[in-house]
């Protein structure tokens, strides 16, 4: 049952209580919302099923784990009524979204639909298994000024491997790209690409009603992580994020019901897009003031996050801090110099 909860910011959450276990909430005709658990601070991912009549299209999948597979089996037998999953649409390449896509392909005969960048990145990462961190990753940690005790631990621990929580991806997928139209759940959806959180992140805008499937590009009460990694140390995801937000903001209507990858479905999209854009501009402004003396990415958490960062969050905080500093540098607002230990020091220009 709908419970309209309004916040002072102008966002409205039609469902205050999310589904749990194998439960599903019908958020629109033929559109089901489910929630799968994640073993981390952000402890869930939202997935959706769209009724195709004799089968289902699902949006995103959760991690590849025995627990998640078991929940999916219950969902397929329960809310999905035993009808097959014929298509898996993946918004972006992160493990909580693409983790079981390969399983749905190989075990359930589903077609995979996603962007070229998402498929290539996910498949590359599943095939790149490391028992110890590679030299490039360690050099990147040093360049970001990673805290010595954390660096020492990470340099000997087995690193996170994509393949640990992402099922093998068989060859073959169907590509979607900017301005494509796709039919799902009896609706035509126009596809618009986000960027920043993940490259070529697909969002879906219904041409027949007020639904938006947003993945992690547009979330209601948190900002998605926007980070730089060893794979592309000179990437500018902050610039890409702001460009995507400005572009997608032009599409948003107050009545849009936004179905995101985390937290609750919401309306009030124009307000939320302004918040997302303003939050990053505010963070950059605070950061610029903070680097009046040279600092590494590991030293600028206070103005960016305004809260204590624990060891579990440290890695994500570091790559996000690095991304913000690198954006200021690439925009010509900060200079950088390299310390003898390899760490980049960033300082406000002038």
Tens of pLDDT along the chain (350 residues) come to: 344 444 445 899 999 999 999 999 999 999 999 999 999 889 999 999 999 999 999 999 999 999 999 999 999 999 999 999 999 999 999 999 999 999 999 999 999 999 999 999 999 999 999 999 999 999 999 999 999 999 999 999 999 999 999 999 999 999 999 999 999 999 999 999 999 999 999 999 999 999 999 999 999 999 999 999 999 999 999 999 999 999 999 999 999 999 999 999 999 999 999 999 999 999 999 999 999 999 999 999 999 998 889 888 999 999 999 999 999 999 999 999 999 999 999 999 98
Q: What is the pTM of this model?
A: 0.95
Measured from the Cβ of residue 103, the count of other Cβ atoms closer than 10 Å reads: 20
Give Dmax (Cα) for the chain.
65
Phi, psi of 154 (to 5 degrees): -70, -25
The whole-number pLDDT of residue 9 equals: 55
Calculated CA dihedral for residues 87, 59, 241, 226, nearest 10 degrees: -110
Phi, psi of 181 (to 5 degrees): -120, 135
Q: Chain-centre distance of CA 170, in angstroms?
A: 23
What is the token pair recorded at 334? 């900060």
Q: Chain-centre distance of CA 122, in angstroms?
A: 13
Give burial (CB, 10 Å; 0-12/13-18/19+) of 246.
exposed
Rounded Cα–Cα distance for residues 271 and 12 (Å)? 11
Answer for the pair 259, 266: CB distance below 8 angstroms, yes or no: no
Rounded Cα–Cα distance for residues 214 and 227 (Å)? 19
Q: Which CATH number fits domain 5-348: 3.20.20.105, 3.60.15.10, 3.40.50.300, 3.40.640.10?
A: 3.60.15.10
Answer for the pair 334, 244: CB distance below 8 angstroms, yes or no: no
Rounded Cα–Cα distance for residues 112 and 51 (Å)? 16
């Amino acid at each position: 049952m709908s419970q309209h909860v309004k916040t002072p910011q102008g966002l409205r959450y039609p469902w205050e209580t999310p589904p749990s276990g194998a439960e599903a909430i019908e958020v629109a005709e033929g559109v089901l919302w489910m929630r799968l658990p994640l073993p981390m601070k952000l402890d869930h991912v939202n997935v959706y099923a769209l009724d195709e009549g004799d089968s289902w299209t699902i949006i995103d999948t959760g991690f590849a784990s025995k627990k998640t597979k078991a929940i999916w089996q219950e969902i397929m037998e329960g809310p999905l009524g035993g009808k097959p999953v014929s298509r898996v649409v993946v918004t972006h390449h992160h493990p909580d979204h693409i983790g079981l896509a390969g399983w749905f392909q190989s075990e359930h005969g589903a077609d995979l639909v996603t962007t070229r960048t998402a498929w290539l990145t996910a498949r590359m990462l599943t095939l790149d298994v490391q028992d110890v961190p590679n030299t490039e990753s360690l050099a990147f940690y040093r360049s970001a000024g990673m805290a010595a005790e954390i660096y020492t631990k990470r340099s000997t621990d087995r690193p996170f491997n994509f393949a640990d929580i992402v099922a093998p991806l068989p060859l073959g997928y169907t590509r979607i790209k900017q301005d494509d139209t796709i039919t799902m759940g009896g609706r035509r959806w126009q596809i618009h690409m986000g960027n920043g959180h993940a490259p070529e992140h697909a969002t879906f805008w219904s041409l027949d009603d007020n639904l938006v499937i947003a993945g992690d590009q547009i979330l209601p009460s948190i900002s998605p992580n926007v980070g730089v990694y060893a794979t592309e140390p000179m990437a500018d995801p902050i610039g890409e994020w702001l460009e995507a937000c400005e572009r997608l903001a032009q599409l948003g209507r107050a009545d849009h019901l936004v179905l995101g990858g985390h937290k609750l479905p919401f309306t009030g999209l124009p307000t939320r897009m302004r918040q997302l854009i303003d939050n990053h501009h505010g963070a950059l402004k605070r950061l610029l003031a903070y680097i009046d003396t040279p600092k590494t990415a590991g030293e600028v958490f206070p103005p960016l996050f305004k809260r204590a960062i624990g060891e579990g969050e440290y890695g994500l905080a570091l790559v996000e801090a690095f991304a913000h500093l690198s954006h200021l540098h690439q925009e010509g607002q900060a200079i950088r110099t390299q310390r003898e230990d390899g760490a980049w020091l960033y300082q406000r220009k002038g």
